Amino acid sequence: MSLLCFTDTQAQGIKFEQGLTWAQVKVKAKAENKYIFLDCFATWCVPCKTMDESVYPVKEVGDAFNEKFISVKVQMDRTEFDDPTIKKWYGDANTIQKNYTVTAFPTFLFFSPEGTPVHKETGTLNAEGFIMLSKDALNPERQYYSILKNFQPGKIDTSELKGLAISFQNADKILAEKLALDYLNRIPKSAYGKPDNLAFITRFANDSLILKIGIQYVSQLKHKQIAKKNNLDFIERLKNVPEIQLIAKKYIDGQPQKQLFTKENLAFLFTFTKTLKDRGFGVAYHEADRVDNTLGRKGFAQQMCDWVIFTTEISPLLSVEFQKKENYKEPDFATMQAEIAEKYNSDYANRNILNGKVKWFGFLKTKDNKYWPDYLKYRIQQVETLRSDTLSGMGPITINVDAWNIFLYSTNIAQLKTAIKWMTGIIARNPNVGPYMDTYANLLYKVGDKDAAIIWQKKAVSQSPSDKGILSNLDKMKNGEATWPLK
């Protein structure tokens, strides 16, 4: 259990200075021989609010900061609601942002009592992590600007390098990569295979030199070594690297069929299944039941085949580049369906052509509202199919968006009632979500069930009282006005 505790008042947490200018803050810090902590935030920043609510009020955080730091909150954006005190900081905030490359929020800047920058960090931390940050800001061996100024490969103990690289990854990507590379160049190559080091390489794989280390590590693995879970996981994390893909293909092609059917091997196999020629497609297509049973995921093999068939047979004909050449002519779905049915079977053809029509008319509706009826027709068919598919991933948010689109763009009673059916189930499983109730109520209202609509809209208001759109819809319903856009 954490020893950190939350308090009822901000007074026991960090005490932020009020009313001082940046120049006055520096004078006060020097006079009191305290370091300076600047919380650089933006009014729209949700992680910044998380720090305000969950970290700064903690007593132990206050104890760590108030004794050794002058703490100041610096608003980096500008709003019409800014008071005179905030406006006085506009110039200094702009200078701080430029001088110390504040590009993400929250950013934490630390200065010595003399006003010299010593440390920097970006992103939310929990209370324990924030207390540790305060200690790093006071430690010359871990201060960001000290390390940035003095860094030379081979000088910092390897026991420190890994943690330093990770801690600076948000504040300074380039410095973090230098530290990471120094660490990897100095530890024995035999240590690369440790789980924490493989995770470390993955974390910094955007750096070409570190990625090269990862590729070299994988390339020297023997067939049996690749089969170890740590190595399989590492290769999967680098699945988009061409060199890794070649190594993975060689491993997959060398696996005897009888050894493929473990969860680990199948997961690895399908990670690198992208085309009809890949071994994974043949395994999923010809041994679907065995694949599903091994993975414990009914219908997975079908979904895998559908994805490969769609990306191979249909997606290229729907791409923006291809359609520009075709002057956005509707694809010949009938011919495509016949060809897919002949190559595979009619079930694969029906599903994939339906998906193709949804994608095609989904694109057209963004260019012209007249295509909404076609889109909704095929989208409803698709959703009705997917809702019976345990692998569909059709969560309540997706269904709610689809139902709302039907409400906005359809006058077809059957379609509206289908959306009502969907939302009845969504609300039963999510009984306290105002926007879901709002969708349900608006659908009821559009099919003419005004009394039931108002009852549900009142429930939506009770769950989301600050949502002006939901409140407005209730007023419109009471007044008998349309809540959907009129042509």
Please give the tally of structural domains in the chain.
Answer: 3
Supply the pLDDT for residue 1. Answer: 28
Is 282 within the bounds of a domain? yes
pLDDT of residue 10: 47
Indicate which CATH number applies to the domain containing 486. 1.25.40.10
DSSP 3-state of 319: coil
Q: Does any domain span residue 318?
A: yes
Whether residue 461 lies inside any domain: the answer is: yes
Q: Do 416 and 485 reside in the same domain of the chain?
A: yes
pLDDT band, residue 8 (cuts 50/70/90): very low
Q: Residue 36 is inside which H or E element, if any?
A: strand 35-41
Sign of the four-CA dihedral 453, 454, 459, 463: positive
CA dist list (Å): 292 to 227, 232, 265, 300, 437: 21, 21, 13, 6, 37
Are residue 32 and residue 118 in the same domain, yes or no? yes
Do 280 and 324 belong together in one domain? yes
Alpha-carbon distance 161 to 299, whole Å?
46
Kindly tell me if the per-residue pLDDT of 393 is higher than 60: no
Q: Which of 306, 299, 295 is nearest to 273 (CA)?
A: 306
Given this model, what pLDDT does residue 477 score?
A: 97
The pLDDT tens digits of the residues spanning 165-219 come to 887 887 788 889 999 999 999 999 999 999 999 999 999 999 999 999 999 999 9
Task: Tell me how far the alpha carbon of residue 190 is from its chain's centroid.
Answer: 34
Q: Is residue 337 part of a domain?
A: yes
**What's the whole-number average pLDDT of the chain?**
91
In terms of domains, do 317 and 342 share one? yes
Provide the whole-model pTM: 0.63
| 12-29: pLDDT as tens digits | 899 999 999 999 999 999
Residue 199, helix vs strand vs coil: helix
**Is residue 186, in this structure, part of any structural domain at all?**
no
Looking up residue 111, the CATH number of its domain turns out to be 3.40.30.10
Place of tokens 């109730």: 437
Residue 140 and residue 26 share a domain? yes
> In the predicted model, is pLDDT for residue 386 greater than 80?
no
Domain membership flag for residue 237: no
Distance of CA 384 to the CA centre of its chain: 27
Q: Are residues 50 and 132 in the same domain?
A: yes
Domain end: 147, 179, 199, which one?
147
Q: What's the per-residue H, E or C state across 51-100?
A: HHHHCCCCHHHHHHHHCCEEEEEEECCCCCCCCHHHHHCHHHHHHHHHHC
374 and 418 fall within a common domain: no
User: 216-247, pLDDT tens digit by residue?
Assistant: 999 999 988 998 889 999 999 999 999 999 99
With beta carbons less than 8 A apart as the criterion, state whether 121 and 44 touch: no
Q: What percentage of the chain exceeds 90 in pLDDT?
A: 74
118 and 20 belong to one structural domain:
yes
Whether the per-residue pLDDT at 3 is higher than 50: the answer is no
Query: Helices (H) and strands (E) in the chain — how many of each?
Result: 29, 4
Are 367 and 444 within 8 A, CB to CB? no
Mean pLDDT of 98-115: 90
pLDDT digits (tens, 9 = 90+) for 295-308: 999 999 999 999 99
Q: What is the pLDDT of residue 150?
A: 81
Domain boundary among the residues 123, 147, 171 is at 147
Domain stop point among 366, 394, 422: 394
Verify that 142 and 32 share a domain, yes or no.
Answer: yes
Same domain, 63 and 110: yes
The residue range of the domain holding 478 is 409-487
- Same-domain check for residues 436 and 485: yes
Confidence of residue 390 (pLDDT cuts 50, 70, 90): very low
Residue 249 lies in a domain: no
- Let me know if residue 246 belongs to a domain: no
Same domain, 382 and 356: yes
